[in-house]
Amino acid sequence: MHERSLIRSLLRQVEKIAAEHPASRVVAVRVRVGEFSGVEPELLELAYKDLVEETPIRGAALQMERVPLEAECRQCGHHFRIEHYNFQCTRCGSLWLRLQNGEELVIDSVTFEECEP
């Protein structure tokens, strides 16, 4: 399952970050999920809940932010959001686009809480 392998690598990254903050525990992990990343948020959530329990950061919440796909026109430089799979510049009609965002799954931030002494 695609989502499980994504979560595994995500958890490895968070564990590394957590190891640098030994006096704190992770309470939340915020990720950016691209609209076109091919990731199902529901499946991602399930995979996370399942796998996080086996890691040192168990109990940490997963927060997801959906990121829309954006494009920059290579013809006129116009920057816009792709909607309804319409891969065409909304200003000049060019199909020569550079796609941005929307295709990735990245860690946006990790929230820590100080452990009780």
Query: Can you give the binding site for Zn ion, defined by CB under 5 A?
Result: 73, 75-76, 78, 89, 91-92, 94
Residue 76 to residue 88: CA distance in whole angstroms? 12
Q: Which residue has the tokens 């329990």?
A: 53
With respect to Zn ion, which residue has the nearer C-beta, 86 or 94? 94
Neighbours of 41 (CB within 10 A): 14
C-alpha to C-alpha distances, 76 to 70, 80, 87, 95, nearest whole angstrom: 15, 12, 15, 11
Looking at beta carbons only, is 11 or 89 nearer to Zn ion? 89
Report in angstroms how near the CB of residue 73 gets to Zn ion at its nearest: 3
In the bound complex, what is the minimum distance in angstroms from residue 1's beta carbon to Zn ion? 39
Closest approach of Zn ion to the CB of residue 44, in Å = 34
Residue closer to Zn ion, measured from CB, 24 or 90: 90
